Structure formats: structure tokens, C-alpha cells
Amino acid sequence: MISSRLNFPILLRLAAGIFLFAFAAIAAADNFKPFNADSFQEIKSSYEGQEFLLGLWSVDCPPCLVELEFMARILELNPEIPYVLISTDAIEQREVSAEYLEDLGFTERESWMFADSFVERLRFSIDQNWYGELPRSYFFDTNHAMKSHSGIVSKQLLQEWFSRTLFFE
């Protein structure tokens, strides 16, 4: 008797949960992966032996959008560049970030979003010497030796970093 009385709200909650989950999946039509304290190692492992570029950005950073526009053009001319995006905005606010990336044509790019409110730990997991300023870029050579840059990246810097010849025009 008691159990049947309890079951009803549980079922209701389950139903509501399934509905919300389905709704969230529709609303979040992006490819953001949740970035937590282990994600940086995961990204590095997936590019083992390869050069790659990491771009950190936020919707609350005007220069980041200038850089993303610049990178969109670079990637148009050099589509094979391994470029991974990490947004330092909370993944709960993914819709707005997704909108930006869609406008810039980054929908297919590997993209992460901070998924832990303890942001100091997330920043630390990437680079102990990073103060949090944005945009922030990291380049990894084939041995994964890391080079960093704060502020908008330039053509010169990208060419300095990548061993391949990049097209700029």
C-alpha cells in the first residue's frame, strides 16, 4: 500500500526527467563537450604525435570574437589545421555560445565548454601560468611542447608555430 503511494510521484518524476532530457537534446544542437579537470589530457591524447592549436574564448570577450572571425578565415584557407576550441563560459549557457560558433561556421569543429564552476581548477589543468585572460591560445608541436599567447593571434605567430606552410590569401 505504502509502496504504491510512493510509486506514483517517482513515475511522474521519471516521465518529467525523460521529457526534459529529450527537450535538452533538441535545444542543444551543438557539439560541445563538457570540459572538466581531465579533459585537457584527453584532448592531448587524441592528438598524440600531431601538431594542434587550442583556442580559449568566451562570449563575454570582444577580442575573442575578433580572433574567432580571423581564425574562421584562416581555416577556410587551411581546413586541415587541427584547431580545438574551448569556451570558458559555463556549459549551462551553451545556446548563446553555439549561436556564435554557428555564425562563424565552426559548427563542425571540436569544441568544449567549461563544465565545472570551480574554474580555477580548470584553468590550472591547462596551464598553471595562465591568469585567465582571453583570448588565450596554445600551440602544441608534434612532441606536444607547448607555446602560449594571450590576445589575438597573428598570421606571423601562426606561421611561426605550425611546421606546415599556411595560406593567408
Rank residues 46 and 69 by Cβ distance to other proteins and give the closer one. 69
Length of the chain: 169
Shortest distance (Å) from residue 50 CB to other proteins: 27
Rank residues 23 and 118 by Cβ distance to other proteins and give the closer one. 118
Question: DSSP code of 93?
Answer: G
Rank residues 37 and 75 by Cβ distance to other proteins and give the closer one. 37
Binding site for other proteins (CB under 8 A): 58-64, 66, 96, 99, 116-121, 123-124, 128-136, 150-152
Shortest distance (Å) from residue 165 CB to other proteins: 25
Shortest distance (Å) from residue 132 CB to other proteins: 7
Return contacts of 77-80, CB within 8 angstroms, 24+ apart.
77/166, 77/167, 77/168, 77/169, 78/166, 78/167
In single-letter form, the type of residue at position 84 comes to V
Tell me the Cα Rg of the chain. Answer: 20
